[in-house]
Amino acid sequence: MLFVIAACLGMLLATSCSNRKPLTMHYSAPSVAPVREKLSDAQSLSVAEATTGVAAQLALARAKTLAPQVPDLQEAIAEASGQVEHLLEVNANLQAALKEVGAKLAVYETATNLQTTLLNSANDAKNSAITERDIAVAKYHRLKFLVCLLAAGAVLSLAWRFKTLLLFIPPPYDLVAIGALPVIAFAFCWIAEPWEWLPFL
């Protein structure tokens, strides 16, 4: 009876090794959408400012033609024209910088997507290798359990066959000894793995 319970528990242990599922992890790169949105907003704002600057230049040129008699006004218009021209130049430089940032962002996004794909495929390969290893370990444990069970059964049948050799043990304990021998044989086989000692296997 004890032998049957031990066999059932061992089979449960051997099959529980194969029920473990590996962790599946997939990495997703941080989104560049917020950066792209801010970049687009900055570009549209820069274009709007350039349009406003051109309109200011046209208004100043018109004011210069309308009021040629006032020298102070002419001087202020010329100064404002220079400042508007400088602001338009700064805005043009800003637009060029924004285009460069947009190009670099696209390159970064492409590289990040490639790295993410490579990382996820490496994780998938690792997970499939872990699954294959777990299946192999479960098969090994089942086979190990069956070999240990066969060894324990052989020891039990030998002990029962030669129970007359146990005459020096008092009657209730001789059955305990006969029952303990297969358990010891099973434990020895499970822990020591004597088949590993045989070079031809």
pLDDT digits (tens, 9 = 90+) for 109-140: 999 999 999 999 999 999 999 999 999 999 99
Task: Look over the chain and give the mean of its residue pLDDT values, rounded to a whole number.
Answer: 82
5 pLDDT higher than 70: no
5 in a structural domain? no
20 in a structural domain? no
177 in a structural domain? yes
Indicate the number of domains in the chain.
Answer: 1
CB 177 within 8 A of CB 164: no
11 in a structural domain? no
Instruction: From 8, 1, 10, select the one nearest 186 (Cα to Cα).
Output: 10
9 in a structural domain? no
pLDDT at 188: 93
pLDDT digits (tens, 9 = 90+) for 169-188: 888 888 888 889 999 999 99
Side-chain-side CA neighbours of residue 117 (13 Å): 6
User: Domain range for residue 117?
Assistant: 32-197
H/E stretch holding 25 = none
> 3-class DSSP state for residue 174?
helix
- In terms of pLDDT, which residue wins out, 65 or 2? 65
Distances in whole angstroms, Cα of residue 124 to Cα of each of 18, 21, 116, 128: 19, 13, 12, 6
CB 121 within 8 A of CB 55: no
